[in-house]
Amino acid sequence: MIVAVPALGGPQRVIITTWLRASWTPDSRYLVVPEGDSLYLAPLEGGERKVLVGPLEHEGGTYRAGPGSVSPDGRTLALTHTVGSQYPD
């Protein structure tokens, strides 16, 4: 589970219920998190997360979107795709 806690104290807020690696966006307003077969953009201030990349069908197989990272300028997303269910939900 990924939880946001204000640096100067305050209530905790669950961002997403995954145990997989997350990465910050350059503006520190979002986390890029893999969950299930997809990669999401989760806002730290709360609200709905956005699907960035879903499962990829390629050569008869389904690839799960894995951990991802946004470039420093915020214009490019690098990620991995894995075959099958290498990571549990």
Q: Write out the DSSP string of the chain.
A: -EEE--TT----EEEE---S--EE-TTSSEEEEEETTEEEEEETT-S--EEEE--EEETTEEEEEEEEEE-TTSS-EEEEEEES-SS--
Instruction: Measure the CA–CA gap between 56 and 62, rounded to whole angstroms.
Output: 6
pLDDT tens-place string over residues 49-64: 899 988 877 777 778 8
Instruction: Measure the CA–CA gap between 61 and 74, rounded to whole angstroms.
Output: 30
Give the residue ranges of the chain where pLDDT is below 70.
Answer: 18-20, 83-89
